Structure 1
Amino acid sequence: MVYAGRGDSGAQHLLLRLLLLAAWEAGSGQIHYSVPEEAKHGTFVGRIAQDLGLELAELVPRLFRVASKGRADLLEVNLQNGILFVNARIDREELCGRSAECSIHLEVIVDRPLQVFHVEVEVKDINDNPPVFPSTQKNLFIAESRPPDSRFPLEGASDADIGPNAMLTYRMSPNEYFSLDVPINEEKVKPLGLVLRKPLDREEAPELFLVLMATDGGKPELTGTVQLLITVLDANDNAPTFDRTLYTVKLAENVSNGTLVIKLNASDLDEGLNGDIIYSFSNDAYPEIKSKFHIDPTTGEILVIGHIDFEENKAYKIRVEAFDKGFLPLAGHCTVLVNVVDANDNAPELTVTSLSLPISEDAQPSSVVALISVSDRDSGTNGQVTCSLTPHVPFKLVSTFKNYYSLVLDSALDRESVSAYALVVTARDGGSPPLSASASVSVEVADVNDNAPAFAQPEYTVFVKENNAPGCHIFTVSARDADAQENALVSYSLVERRLGERAVSSYVSVHAESGKVYALQPLDHEELELLQFQVSARDAGFPPLGSNVTLQVFVLDENDNAPALLPPRAGGVGGALSELVPRSVGAGHVVAKVRAVDADSGYNAWLSYELQPAAGGARSPFRVGLYTGEVSTTRALDEADAPRQRLLVLVKDHGEPALTATATVLLSLVESGQALKASSRASAGVAGAEAALVDVNVYLIVAICAVSSLLVLTLLLYTALRCSAVPTEGACGPGKPTLVCSSAVGSWSYSQQRRQRVCSGEGPPKTDLMAFSPSQPQGPSSAELLQFW
């Protein structure tokens, strides 16, 4: 227990702090101070910050504050030095009435983190209230016939103080007729009274003036006085008497008006009017008695006429007088003590303070969310309150001190599952039937960045036609973040990587807010068939979280490349294919081959060959294979055929629209001998080139001529065999569809490099590079296709 008051010395302060420390370590959890009532403004009460273990520098940043139920302005804390001092006049009697214990309960609250301390400041009573009589003068009518030792009750004084300050002693001014009878227990036995010591003589002293003084036990003493005016009456020898001087009655609170409290009965030994009795309350009865009760003057019944409230007054002391109707009426006196029995008529009251809201979803269990105080004006079991919380919530109530609770977190929170809780705190008393009250607390869960943006799928496949416009939108990525506000604000960016010698950012870009993916430049299927990259999604939380998604962009081919003619393998003039054709060849003889490739793919690279009609409409003795490009005779040549044949071959792909190229084939019709000579000359030229490396001599020339003759003979034999070997189905007959390589027929070709890779088996061929050659009249045989190239 820590007490503080005016005039404390330094040694006393040290002793008080030691006592406080011992009490705190003992686990009381509460600090006690004391202060006298009526202390001046600024009176020191205690070093509250130091006693609570708080640093002075943290009082303001942590929002140090003091809350008090009721009068919150009586005490205040100086935030500069942490001293609790008197801020306003403290009147103990106004604060606690006649209660033996009087204290001010303070809640000391600091935030960041939230802590609550309970402080009791006991208000010490000082002798600041003098004894007070119900009135300043009391009139007594006493018959001269009253015998000695007759007792006449008096209403004593009351003192608003307590303890020794309210212990009253009485004395009366000196006189020869009366003495003062002071009971040991005036509350329960009998009231203060005058005792007649000497018979009165109206003729000698018809009136007596006495002064009754009450002195309390305080220091300094305070006194109160009342003047007693005694009028001596004549006649009427017997006063009414009650069978008891004290009646004790129990009365339930909240009884209805008209309820009978007690029926009093007084008797008078006289007869006639001198024996008829009239009941009444004492003249100096307090107004509160007269507002709550009524006594029937004839029957002596005391009835309830006002609201009886246990919380307002627990007991009533009623002084009753019974007068007879004699000419000189005499009176009898008794006291009725009415004890009010408490009823459960007050529901508990809840107060929710110091809400630490919203609460972060990563808050640790046992974090304080709010402070709750409950009270019940009833007493005993009716005033015992228990609190409960809405079930199945991650919170609980923890009792901290008497009727004070803390609402604390009981388990982990997840804002994405539940973003707010509507809690109901119910307080129920122990009465029968019990009364209850509820208070709602809305707890909002604050978001933390604990969820990364998530894409609907880890990979997307996108198809884009080549030759797109620069900056065109090709796809939109979208990621969802389960968090809220800035934690759910997603931005997108490109994950940089290199594609060969170029960065992926030179091909595409991503809009940071919308997630739209744009192609920065026209894409070329022939350069890049597949563009694979990643897009990153990051939220704006701290620290930011993110995830990636993969985009596979397939560049679709368009027919943007015309067929390209390959240079002739043998002689040619100005890029035209030039061949010598013997007139002796028969129908179906291949005299030349037009070769072309297309950089596109698929149908866009599937080539076909057409022979353009000759000028003048003359029918040409030659034709070209639709898919092979081979120029062959349609019939045997004769002398009517022009010796110079100029053929225009149209090479066309299958794109939409189709692109074309034109090849010129120059054919010279010669006799067989001339053809052999040309072949000889070619061979001689080769031999001459070889002979240039050595000395020319006759033997070598002879050898060369012999070899040339042998070569001519071989060619003639080969030509004869080829012309005689006519297929059974004919050159125009349909053949079986054959699975061919695209390069064999000049179709589905990408480039020479691709053609070599696919046809040479250097890797698994693409499925769209294989085709069945259709059966056409001009189609070459399987053997020809396989031996070509």
Structure 2
Amino acid sequence: MVYLNRGDREHRHLLLCFIILTVWETGSGQVHYSVLEEAKHGTFVGRIAQDLGLELMELVPRLFRVASKDHGDLLEVNLQNGILFVNSRIDREELCGRSAECSIHLEVIVDRPLQVFHVEVEVKDINDNAPVFPQTQKNLFMAESRMLDSRFPLEDASDADIEENALLTYRLSPNEFFSLDVPTNDEQVKPLGLVLRKPLDREQSPELHLLLTATDRGKPELTGSVQLLIKVLDANDNAPAFDKTLYAVKLPENIPNGTLVIKLNASDLDEGSNADIIYSFSSDVSPDIKSKFYIDAINGEIVAIGHIDFEESKTYKLQIEAIDKGSLPLAGHCTVHVQVLDANDNAPELALTSLSLPISENAQPGTVITLINVSDRDSGTNGEVTCSLTPHVPFKLVSTFKNY
């Protein structure tokens, strides 16, 4: 804070109008590097001092330092040679999940005079994750009366990597009864499926054993597999059928527990107990989905029971079964694709990365007081932030760079 002598009343108005201006210099642009995830400790990233135009001998006297929100220990600078190197294990999946872009943003600060540089280190993916199915074995129950071209949905595999390392191809072990139906790119919410190509005969083949394998496109490629045990049943000849095979629902985040998501309706052409239907989630549905949603077994209503958070997950894919009460039950299937809509439920966060307090009473106009980083976890306009100071103070906020 700036104090005024009582004898300087004629200058009071003028001094109160002074503003705090930035006195540091910023680089001509961001410096960009890249590093492979899982690189060993000490791996060379870049000659950061040289690239920023700094002399090695001035790094220590000018208090050269690097700051990174939440990732400060992953990268380090050798002050003797000005080289940026890997300091600790970098796991891209842990750092950025399945995001197509992954970078570590560094803020480099030197004093005397104060300079601030912004360095971006791209973390590149390696094929270090094999495809994984929800189960190692899946049991399927099929009536021998099912018609040819009947489709039986399967849960696809997941791969924690991205791009080519996460693009999967599937193959089914050779057999005479089933082929594999793989959705195209524009049918991503549609699951894999087995398609019946030859009539089943329980008396001849009561059980069938198949192997489903997923292979990624990484180098070297990695694979994962699931055993399919198909038990052939004598059952009623009509399976429940939903109005649609795919339902799309938009759901605001932070809705109260008990909010109706959708009411499903399946019908069965049979009579009596063979037409009575029980609704349930598929056995492949993850515990996370079961903690967020509940389906009424009798009326097919799906309601929200857990906290729906856009920042936690933007979509949910619910695999639903409708099973009749026949002595040899049949099942119909559908997918409910839930899109979560963002709400402005996260306040901006402020972080101080440099602080010069207290302030001398003879501090010159233009003295830097503090550097403030502001972020907001929301998306779109909900994530746009404006900053302001308390009115009638001798300070001013100056933006140094745009939001990432």
For normalisation by structure 2, the TM-score amounts to 0.91
Q: Distance in 2 between matches of 1:108 and 1:123?
A: 18
1:235: Cα distance to partner?
2.4
Q: Distance in 2 between matches of 1:342 and 1:94?
A: 23
Q: Is contact 1:188–1:246 with CA below 8 Å preserved after alignment? A: no
Q: Distance in 2 between matches of 1:145 and 1:288?
A: 35
Q: Which has the higher contact order (CA 8 A, sep 6+)?
A: 2
Structure 2 match to 1:549: none
Matched residue SS, 2:90: coil
Q: What pairs up with 1:674-753 in 2 under 5 angstroms?
A: none
Q: What pairs up with 1:23-102 in 2 under 5 angstroms?
A: 29-102=29-102
Structure 2 match to 1:343: 343
Q: Is contact 1:385–1:403 with CA below 8 Å preserved after alignment? A: no
Q: Distance in 2 between matches of 1:32 and 1:386?
A: 27
CA 1:273–1:28: 2 relative to 1, 3 Å: farther
User: Aligned AA for 2:168?
Assistant: L
Q: Is contact 1:373–1:403 with CA below 8 Å preserved after alignment? A: no
Structure 1 match to 2:5: none
1:188: Cα distance to partner?
4.0
The alignment-based identity, stated in percent, is: 83
Matched residue SS, 1:119: strand
User: Aligned AA for 2:285?
Assistant: A
Q: What pairs up with 1:375-524 in 2 under 5 angstroms?
A: 375-403=375-403
Matched residue SS, 2:289: helix
Structure 2 match to 1:112: 112
1:403: Cα distance to partner?
3.9
What are the superposed Cα offsets for residues 539-568 of structure 1, whole Å, 9 maximum, x if unpaired?
Answer: xxxxxxxxxxxxxxxxxxxxxxxxxxxxxx
User: Aligned AA for 1:233?
Assistant: L
Q: What pairs up with 1:134-173 in 2 under 5 angstroms?
A: 134-173=134-173
1:176: Cα distance to partner?
0.5
Alignment of 1:292 with 2:309, yes or no, is no
User: Aligned AA for 2:85?
Assistant: F
Matched residue SS, 1:121: strand
Equivalenced residue count is: 378
Matched residue SS, 1:288: helix
Q: Is contact 1:249–1:261 with CA below 8 Å preserved after alignment? A: yes
Q: What pairs up with 1:518-537 in 2 under 5 angstroms?
A: none
CA 1:37–1:296: 2 relative to 1, 3 Å: same
User: Aligned AA for 2:92?
Assistant: R
Q: Distance in 1 between matches of 2:121 and 2:372?
A: 21
What are the superposed Cα offsets for residues 648-702 of structure 1, whole Å, 9 maximum, x if unpaired?
Answer: xxxxxxxxxxxxxxxxxxxxxxxxxxxxxxxxxxxxxxxxxxxxxxxxxxxxxxx
Structure 2 match to 1:328: 328
Q: Distance in 1 between matches of 2:288 and 2:186?
A: 20
1:346: Cα distance to partner?
0.9
Q: Is contact 2:235–2:330 with CA below 8 Å preserved after alignment? A: no
What are the superposed Cα offsets for residues 143-164 of structure 1, whole Å, 9 maximum, x if unpaired?
Answer: 0011111110000001111111
Matched residue SS, 1:354: strand
Structure 1 match to 2:175: 175
1:110: Cα distance to partner?
1.1
User: Aligned AA for 2:219?
Assistant: K
Matched residue SS, 1:127: coil
Q: Distance in 1 between matches of 2:370 and 2:117?
A: 14
Q: Is contact 2:189–2:337 with CA below 8 Å preserved after alignment? A: no
Matched residue SS, 1:351: strand
Structure 2 match to 1:452: none
Matched residue SS, 1:45: strand
Q: Is contact 1:144–1:233 with CA below 8 Å preserved after alignment? A: yes
Structure 2 match to 1:205: 205
Matched residue SS, 1:400: coil
Structure 2 match to 1:224: 224
1:111: Cα distance to partner?
1.6
Alignment of 1:236 with 2:236, yes or no, is yes
Q: Distance in 2 between matches of 1:250 and 1:324?
A: 29
What are the superposed Cα offsets for residues 160-211 of structure 1, whole Å, 9 maximum, x if unpaired?
Answer: 1111111000001110100000010376452100000000010110000000
Q: Distance in 1 between matches of 2:261 and 2:295?
A: 10
1:49: Cα distance to partner?
0.7
Structure index of larger Rg: 1
Q: Distance in 2 between matches of 1:136 and 1:248?
A: 29
Alignment of 1:195 with 2:234, yes or no, is no
CA 1:249–1:78: 2 relative to 1, 3 Å: same
Structure 2 match to 1:24: none
Q: Distance in 2 between matches of 1:291 and 1:284?
A: 14
Q: Is contact 2:170–2:215 with CA below 8 Å preserved after alignment? A: yes
User: Aligned AA for 1:377?
Assistant: R
For normalisation by structure 1, the TM-score amounts to 0.47
Structure 2 residue ranges without an equivalent (≥5)? 1-26
Identify the structure with the greater helix proportion: 1
1:62: Cα distance to partner?
1.0
Matched residue SS, 1:50: helix
Q: Distance in 2 between matches of 1:362 and 1:176?
A: 90
Structure 2 match to 1:265: 265
What are the superposed Cα offsets for residues 613-665 of structure 1, whole Å, 9 maximum, x if unpaired?
Answer: xxxxxxxxxxxxxxxxxxxxxxxxxxxxxxxxxxxxxxxxxxxxxxxxxxxxx
What are the superposed Cα offsets for residues 267-295 of structure 1, whole Å, 9 maximum, x if unpaired?
Answer: 11111111111110010111100000000
Q: Distance in 1 between matches of 2:156 and 2:247?
A: 18
Structure 1 match to 2:131: 131
User: Aligned AA for 1:80?
Assistant: Q
1:391: Cα distance to partner?
2.1
Structure 2 match to 1:357: 357
What are the superposed Cα offsets for residues 532-591 of structure 1, whole Å, 9 maximum, x if unpaired?
Answer: xxxxxxxxxxxxxxxxxxxxxxxxxxxxxxxxxxxxxxxxxxxxxxxxxxxxxxxxxxxx
Structure 1 match to 2:17: none
Q: Distance in 2 between matches of 1:173 and 1:60?
A: 64
What are the superposed Cα offsets for residues 428-477 of structure 1, whole Å, 9 maximum, x if unpaired?
Answer: xxxxxxxxxxxxxxxxxxxxxxxxxxxxxxxxxxxxxxxxxxxxxxxxxx
User: Aligned AA for 2:57?
Assistant: A
1:366: Cα distance to partner?
3.1
Q: Is contact 1:142–1:231 with CA below 8 Å preserved after alignment? A: yes
Matched residue SS, 2:138: strand
1:370: Cα distance to partner?
0.9
What are the superposed Cα offsets for residues 483-542 of structure 1, whole Å, 9 maximum, x if unpaired?
Answer: xxxxxxxxxxxxxxxxxxxxxxxxxxxxxxxxxxxxxxxxxxxxxxxxxxxxxxxxxxxx
